[in-house]
Structure 1
Amino acid sequence: MAEEGCVTPRHEESRIPPPSVCPPPPKKKKQEPAGGKRRDAPKNGYFQPPDLDALFSVAPRREACA
């Protein structure tokens, strides 16, 4: 046999065996609401923001002294 250099082993014991059965897909975790339990709506209702026009109104500018 002539020297061929590096060669991949071809013996049966050197081969990777084929997988017998594919593993099952991962199971989806059941999502729980924040805090672990469902909460009732607040008795006073949800947050009511103030009148945004009043909150962001611009005050009149004063003129600079000359």
Structure 2
Amino acid sequence: MDREVISDDECTTPKRRECRIPVMFVCPPPPKKKTVCGTKRDPPKDGYFQPPDLDALFVMPPRRQACA
């Protein structure tokens, strides 16, 4: 038997059978599609959220007039 002598300071890939990645013979099934467009929801009983003071947050302050 002619085997190469491997010194302890060299790194090598393990070649034993138990160290190998197992071979998959059958592909896994594809993910199932979710059907979103086929289901319609009823509007909420209390209506959609409408904050009472939302317009007050976006009010533009009046412009100052430039001194001439």
Q: Give TM-score scaled by structure 2 length.
A: 0.41
Which of these two proteins has the greater Rg computed from alpha carbons?
Answer: 1
What is the TM-score when the length of structure 1 is the normalising length? 0.42
